[in-house]
Amino acid sequence: MAKLIFTYGAMNAGKTTYLLQVAHNYESWGLKPLVFTYEGCDDKGSCRSRLGISRKSEIFNKEYSFLDVEVSNVAVILIDEAQFLTNKQVFDLCRIASLKGVPVMCYGLRTSWQAHVFEGSSALLGLADELREIRTICKCGKKATMARRIAPSAGTADEDIGQDKYVSVCRKCWFTYHDGEEQT
The catalytic residue positions are 81
CB of 169 vs Zn ion, minimal distance in Å: 5
CB of 116 vs Zn ion, minimal distance in Å: 20
Q: Which stretches of the chain are DSSP H helices?
A: 15-28, 87-100, 119-127, 171-183
Query: By C-beta, is 16 or 111 nearer to Zn ion?
Result: 111
Selected range binding Zn ion among 19-27, 80-88, 134-142, 156-164, rule: CB under 5 A: 134-142
Query: By C-beta, is 16 or 168 nearer to Zn ion?
Result: 168
Q: Which residues contact 178 (CB under 8 A, 6 or more apart)?
A: none
CB of 175 vs Zn ion, minimal distance in Å: 10
Phi-psi region of 56 (alpha: psi -120 to 50; beta: other; left: phi over 0): beta
Using CA atoms, how far apart are residues 144 and 121, in angstroms rounded to an integer? 17
Q: Which residues contact 108 (CB under 8 A, 6 or more apart)?
A: 6, 7, 8, 15, 79, 80, 81, 82, 83, 84, 85, 118, 120, 121, 124
Query: By C-beta, is 70 or 179 nearer to Zn ion?
Result: 179
- Our finding on whether 140 is near Zn ion (CB under 5 A) is yes
Selected range binding Zn ion among 70-78, 85-93, 111-119, 138-146, rule: CB under 5 A: 138-146
CB of 174 vs Zn ion, minimal distance in Å: 8
Task: Report the site for Zn ion in 159-178 (rule: CB under 5 A).
Answer: 170, 173
Residue 47 corresponds to which amino acid? Answer: C
At 6, give phi and psi (nearest 5°): -110, 115
Query: By C-beta, is 50 or 142 nearer to Zn ion?
Result: 142
- Our finding on whether 99 is near Zn ion (CB under 5 A) is no
DSSP 126: H
Among 138, 146, 161, 167, binds Zn ion (CB under 5 A): 138
Which parts of this chain interact with Zn ion (CB under 5 A)? Answer: 138, 140, 142, 170, 173
